């Protein structure tokens, strides 16, 4: 079973930056699309960005121009560079396949944007 392990979250001030990483086990990483998702308190989980196996990217309107998704297939890792963070970006961030696989959610990593 493929495991997805997120890291890199933390507490950051508004306007700051964080880089999230997601390490995947298994041999299919390089041929599947991956996504970053987030869930804020009291809200449904939402798609933030996704990336194709070859690197084509798509972003939610709320993060376009501030976040960048990328991947390193040699390292089985997908990244989310988050700049100009806002309090409304506060959430638990998860990586998963795109579209998401119900059985592949990890623990996520908490991102808190606050002064």
Tens-digit pLDDT profile for residues 72-115: 999 999 999 999 999 999 999 999 999 998 888 989 999 999 99
Q: Residue 28: pLDDT band by 50, 70, 90 thresholds?
A: confident
Higher pLDDT, 1 or 26: 26
- Partners of residue 12 on adjacent β-strands: 113
Is the confidence at residue 2, as pLDDT, over 80?
no
Tell me: the pLDDT tens digits for 8-22? 999 999 999 999 999
pLDDT tens digits, 34-66: 999 999 999 999 999 999 999 999 999 999 999
* Model pLDDT, residue 1: 63
- In angstroms, what CA-CA distances link 29 with 8, 64, 78, 108? 20, 24, 10, 18
């Amino acid at each position: 079973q493929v495991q997805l392990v997120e890291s890199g979250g933390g507490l950051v001030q508004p306007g700051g930056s964080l880089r999230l990483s997601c390490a995947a086990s298994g041999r299919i990483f390089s041929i599947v699309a991956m996504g970053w998702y987030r869930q804020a308190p009291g809200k449904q989980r939402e798609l933030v960005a996704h990336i194709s196996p070859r690197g084509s990217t798509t972003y939610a309107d709320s993060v376009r121009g501030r976040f960048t998704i990328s991947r390193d297939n040699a390292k089985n890792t997908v990244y989310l560079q988050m700049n100009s963070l806002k309090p409304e970006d506060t959430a638990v961030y998860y990586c998963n396949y795109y579209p998401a696989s119900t059985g592949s959610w990890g623990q996520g990593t908490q991102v808190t944007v606050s002064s």
